[in-house]
Structures are given as structure tokens and as C-alpha cells.
Amino acid sequence: MQLSNQKILIAGGGSGMGLALASRCIEAGAEVIIAGRREDRLRQAREALGNPAGLHIAAVDITREDQVAALFAGIGGLDHIVSTAADIEGAYRLLPGLDLNAAQRVVDSKLFGPLLLAKHGAPGLAVSGSMSFVSGIAAYRPAPRGSVVAAVNAALEGLVRALAIELAPIRVNAVSPGWVDTEIWGQVAGDRKAETLAAMAERLPVGRIGHPDDIADAIFFLMGNGFTTGTTLHVEGGHRLA
């Protein structure tokens, strides 16, 4: 797929899956804006990609409606909107130790953030364009300590289906990753990250953990396939079967 003359916003594009997608889109000829809360991190991401002319950064908190509205007022029309953003710090806890503030941050970043991107981004989005959001395997294979993340991922997929109807013909989809080797696992598993991921790799039918590029490929497909909307694309190495 070639993306020449197309303009794409990637919230969460400063690292992990979002950064991998930004690289793919730049290679395909798109103009890309990566957005996130930390400008220093966005600058580092741009440097990591070689400071391409078609890559721009935007410091914004997608959980703040005033900032989201200002973002879209400043960048003009778009062809695609993507959010890989997630704030899960402190969210993986058993119920007795659950911090509601941490839970609220998950809801804000993974549910209300996409909702605000849709609310303020849809008016300037090409009718042939798309929105893609990232849910996750926890909605299908929940585990102890993961109740908040499981609930939010499931809610996001419900939102995607509703938006696909309300915003049609704009296409709205979700990608549901399995276990992907990103820095988030440092928060989830701490010093046991490598051991934890290796154990899961042995369980999965594909025999390995996911990489950010795997998820970027899936989002790239959803951006380009004009006959897919209201869908959750599972990219999880067979985790739902294991």
C-alpha cells in the first residue's frame, strides 16, 4: 500500500507499536504526526527514525478534551487516525490492592482518549479514511490482577463497533494484540519480564512473543482495506487457543 499524499495521526507514536507504525507509514510516503504527552520522548522518536521530513511531533494529552480539540484545530485534515496509547502503570493489581486512580488512568487513556480523538477528529477526516484503536488479549483471556485492563479493552471494542455505525462511511476498527515485547512489560512483570515472556512463547502456537512490527502490520492493513469496519483484528499468535 502506498500512502503518498496521505496524512496520518498516531497517538502513542513515540514508542512501541505506534513508533513501528510511524516508520511503516513514512516508508510508504505518508505525512505522519506522532502525538504523546512528553515532547522530549517524541523528539527522541523522531531522531530514532532519522528525522524524516514527513514526520512531525505534537505534545498532547489525549485524555484532555481541550488539548485534543486544539490538536485537530492545528493540524487540519487527515486521512487516518490511530491510537496505540495506554497508561497502565499501577493497574495490574489484585482487587484488595487496586488503586482507583490507576484504574481511572487506564480508562482515560484507552477508552476516553479514543472517544475524544473520534469526536474531534472525525469532522476533518477524509470520508475514505479510517480510525484504528488498540484493545488487547486481556478482553478474551483475563488473568488475576488484570480485571481493569480486561474491562477497558472489551469496552473499547464495543465503542469501535458503535463508532463504525455512527461515523460511516469512515471506517473504525480495533487491533487486539496478544503479548508483545514492549516497554509496558517492564511495568507488568518488572525484573521477571524476560522469564515471563519466554514462558508465554512456549505456550503459543507460533512459538514466539509478538513484536511491535506485527501490530504495525495489522494496523497498516486496516488503514488500507476499504471493506473492513467495525472489526477487531486479532494479532496474538494463537493466544486465544492456548
The three cell numbers locating residue 141: 483471556
- CA neighbor of 240 nearest in space, from 92, 138, 133: 138
Q: Is the backbone peptide bond immediately before 96 cis, with ω within 30 degrees of 0?
A: no
The three cell numbers locating residue 1: 500500500
In the CATH hierarchy, which fold is given to the domain comprising 7-241? Rossmann fold (3.40.50)
| pLDDT, the chain, mean | 96
DSSP state of 96: G
**pLDDT computed for residue 79 by the predictor:** 98
The three cell numbers locating residue 201: 512463547
pLDDT tens digits, 106-123: 999 999 999 999 999 999
Phi and psi for 134 in degrees, rounded to 5? -115, 115
- According to DSSP, the β-strands at 78-83 and 125-134 are parallel
Q: Are 68 and 116 in contact (CB under 8 A)?
A: yes
Cα–Cα distance measured from residue 56 to residue 43, given in angstroms and rounded to the nearest whole number? 9
Instruction: List, as one string, the DSSP characters of 158-196.
Output: HHHHHHHHHTTTSEEEEEEE-SB-STHHHHHHGGGHHHH
pLDDT tens digits, 54-104: 999 999 999 999 999 999 999 999 999 999 999 999 999 999 999 999 999
Q: From edge to edge, which strands make up the β-sheet containing 78-83?
A: 55-59, 31-36, 7-11, 78-83, 125-134, 171-177, 232-235
Question: Taking CA 124 as the corner, what is the angle to CA 121 and CA 129, rounded to the nearest 5 degrees?
Answer: 85
Give 3-state DSSP helix, strand, coil % of the chain, rounded to 5.
Answer: 50, 20, 30
pLDDT level of residue 189 (50, 70, 90 thresholds): confident
pLDDT tens digits, 116-161: 999 999 999 999 999 999 999 999 999 999 999 999 999 999 999 9
Cα–Cα distance measured from residue 149 to residue 116, given in angstroms and rounded to the nearest whole number? 19
The pTM for the full model equals 0.95
Question: How do the domains of the chain map onto residue ranges?
Answer: 7-241
Burial class (CB in 10 A: 0-12, 13-18, 19+), 100: exposed
**pLDDT computed for residue 138 by the predictor:** 96
Percent of the chain with pLDDT over 70: 100
